Structure 1
Amino acid sequence: MNLNYQERHSIYQERLRQASAAFNLAFAMTTISAIAGFAGIMLLFSGNISAGTITAAGGGIYASVTASWLKLAKDSNDRLDKAARALEAES
């Protein structure tokens, strides 16, 4: 019984850690996106780059990184949920 509690507690702690990491990554990506957006605006106003290039590059990179991170986080959370359900079923 005590081992079951420790295993469940460990799983919940891991879920909290992953949620915190996901928030920190989302915040960092938002910050980087804002900086890249401002840099793109500066390049656009200086005439060094076209608006289409900024849109394509910024959107493509941000979308691909975000999609891959969200899939990784969802898969990890699903595995932890499955393990937690299995432990609760044992008790």
Structure 2
Amino acid sequence: MNTNLTPDQSDIIKERLRQARLSFNLALATTATCALVGFCGIGLVLIGKAPEGTITTTGGLSATVYCLKLARDANDRLDELAKDLNDD
């Protein structure tokens, strides 16, 4: 890894790390929220409110999949940053 970075390069790296951390934290929080929504939907199905439960569960699971994609993208950005640092 090259430690002779210009101040601009250092600022760019710090900003990319900050954005990746925020994206990951957002994805983690929303995934947890969507999982709770999904469990609420399952509860609705179990107590006999099948239409409402199905809609709630489907919405929670769909949002969870999107949030996991967001977390994977944040991880990919960190991997790209590490590769860029090793190339310099």
Q: TM-score range by the shorter chain?
A: 0.5 to 0.7
1:39 matches 2:62: no
What is the CA distance between 1:28 and its match in structure 2?
1.0
Partner residue of 1:84? 85
Query: Percent of pairs identical after alignment?
Result: 16
What is the CA distance between 1:43 and its match in structure 2?
1.8
Q: Which residues of structure 1 form unaligned runs of 5+?
A: none
Q: Which structure has the bigger radius of gyration?
A: 1
What amino acid does structure 2 have at the position aligned with 1:33? A
Alpha carbons 1:11, 1:80 under 8 Å: kept: yes
The total of aligned residue pairs comes to 81
Between structures 1 and 2, the one with greater helix share: 1
Moved segments of 4+, more than 6 Å? none
Distance 1:75-1:9 versus aligned 2 partners, 3 A rule: same
- With the length of structure 2 as denominator, give the TM-score of the two structures: 0.62
- With the length of structure 1 as denominator, give the TM-score of the two structures: 0.61
For residues 26 and 32 of structure 1, what CA distance do their matches in structure 2 show?
10
